[in-house]
A and B are shown apart, each in its own frame.
Chain A
Amino acid sequence: MKSKKTLYWNLCILAMVILSIITFSPLVIPEGKFTPLVFGLPRTLWTGIVVYVFMVLFTYFGTRVHPRSDRTKGETE
């Protein structure tokens, strides 16, 4: 069970690293370009919002699969 949690936790870290790399790539921040627009929002903004939402989702998953969280619950509650 713990090794599965560690695997999922490592996958969450990997996902966050990939999202961060995407953020600083021309996919999200192309210099001087704002197309394609989505609902009128410029590219950097809508892709930035999508990345933000995914980062918060992975934060949520991270809290569920953090390898040491079981022990902590037992200790403190």
Chain B
Amino acid sequence: MTMTTWLLLFGTFWLLAIAYFSFRSYRKIKTADDYIFAGSSLGVLIGLLTFSATLFSAFTFMGMPDFFRTHGVGSWIFLAISDAAMFFFIIWFGHKLREQGTARGYSGVARLMDKCYDSTSPGLLYFLGIFIFLVPYMAVQIRGIAIFFTAIFPDLMPYWTWITLIVMIIIIYTQIGGLRAIIYSDSLQAIILLLVIWIIGVTCLKNAGGITGLFAKVKQSHPDLLSIPGPQGLLSFQYLLASFWSIIMLPVTQPQITTRLIIMKNEQKMHRMAVSLGVFTFLILIPTIFIGLYGALEYYGIPSNTFLSNVLLFEQTNIIAALAVIGLIAASISTADSQIFALSTEFRSLLKGNEKKVMLYTRLAIVFFAICTLVFSLVSSDQLVILARISFMGTSIMGPMILTGIFSKQIPGKEMIWSTLISLIVFIGSQVGLLPMALFGINIDLLIVIFMIIVTVLSVTLRKRIQKS
């Protein structure tokens, strides 16, 4: 069978699965909380799959092989080590988050912050922060896939039609099935992703002559890929350290991930999920090394899309190539829908009043955020991993403010809110070129992290002392 036939077959199956998940979830929705939090009773397996699908999206499937190809083995430190530290952090943070959520009533991080700080400012600031940094991240994922498909199927439809199609699918099935539909489709996507990435990884490894053959060839042709900072000097100590911080902060600052900790059935299941994530992540990331370094041998220095279309599709059998295409669409959708939904959940948590009206606004917010993503997809840049990292870094700036709110026994000081606001402005200023990217030889993002840590330590200790005296 040709690739198109397989594509039609898998595509139909996938769309039917999404439709089934939506209507099955729709039947289970009895209250607004069912729609928003999927009944808050996730088991370990579904929790693991939905968390993974949200975390590992097109960014992993396309971005990481390309990152290994371009920047070398330092990419392992960039993502894998940071993820492993984050899984440990989930045990500590998840416990406190769930405790606070139970004590204060959880409807979203924004509302929780308002309660912790006894003020409406931190909630608004948090919402503004995630809006600014999540929309470009969602957009770049969808745009990346759309441009990739346009390159593969140039006569089928223009890239903006792909973008519109993906956003429309997201709007329809999230409106019908809510978070539960997203979780089910996430689970399907995570399984497809793991299967396809291993098949492609093993093919690349075989073509390169096994593990030792692969690394021996890379050593001969591109030895600078085998150490940091990589050929382009990107993966420096400072860059890796700031990335480490920003990725550890993901459960704190990215609402789609925070939500998944809250809706686990109990803390024990959340613990098991954290450990399972460690194993799953290892399995997902290992083949991206093989694909990336194989790409460095065969497709060094050529555009990302050409490398990816060759390795992920043209070098594969028709059935695997078709599965990869569906996997990519599913991957981009599963991350974008979770983020659009999480933004709407946070928006809802800031609203007060009649539940029916609040739900109506929440559903309208989903459409609004999806349209924002659509518009941004049409104008954003194509740097998948770089933009993902900016999104992680940007939201991580709010980490100390949230952690202080959740862990403090007293109401934290306003200085936490002000320092977060200033840091966000400085970070955005540096990204758009209004402020320098480094000061005194230190990257601005790392300086911001250091500044926020100092402010947090001072704020907490001084306020404790004042209270004691």
Chain A interface residues (CB < 8 Å from chain B): 12-13, 16, 20, 23-24, 28-34, 37, 39-45, 48-49, 51-53, 55-56, 58-60, 62-63, 66, 68-69, 72-73, 75-77
Contact = CB atoms under 8 A, between A and B. Distances in A.
Contacts of A39: 211-212
| Candidate in A24, A56, A75 with the most chain B CB atoms within 10 angstroms | A56
Interface of B: 73-74, 76-77, 80-81, 84-85, 87-88, 91-92, 95, 211-216, 219, 223-224, 226-229, 237, 240-241, 244, 265-268, 271-272, 274-275, 278-279, 282, 289
B88 A44 contact: no
Nearest to B235: A29
A16 B265 contact: no
B84 A44 contact: no
A31 B80 CA distance: 19
20 contacts: A13-B92, A28-B77, A34-B219, A37-B215, A39-B212, A43-B227, A44-B76, A44-B228, A45-B289, A51-B81, A52-B81, A56-B84, A56-B275, A56-B282, A58-B88, A59-B84, A59-B88, A68-B95, A72-B266, A72-B267
Nearest to B89: A16
What is the predominant secondary structure among interface residues of chain A facing chain B? Answer: helix
A53 B85 CA distance: 11
B215 A42 contact: yes
| Candidate in A24, A37, A51, A52 with the most chain B CB atoms within 10 angstroms | A52
Per CB-CB distance, the 5 closest pairs between chain A and chain B, nearest first, are A56-B278, A76-B266, A40-B212, A63-B271, A55-B84
A23 B77 contact: yes
Contacts of B85: 16, 20, 55
| Candidate in B74, B272, B278 with the most chain A CB atoms within 10 angstroms | B278
Contact of A33 (B92, B227, B244): B227
B215 A66 contact: no
Nearest to B96: A68
B77 A44 contact: yes
Given A44-B77, A76-B268, 12 more contacts: A29-B227, A31-B229, A40-B211, A42-B219, A55-B84, A56-B279, A59-B87, A59-B274, A62-B91, A68-B95, A73-B267, A75-B266
Given A39-B211, A42-B73, A44-B74, A72 B95 contact: yes
A66 B70 CA distance: 40
Nearest to B224: A32
Nearest to A43: B227
A74 B398 CA distance: 33
A48 B81 contact: yes
Contacts of B271: 63, 66, 69
A63 B274 contact: yes
Contacts of A43: 227
Contacts of A63: 91, 271-272, 274-275
A17 B88 CA distance: 11
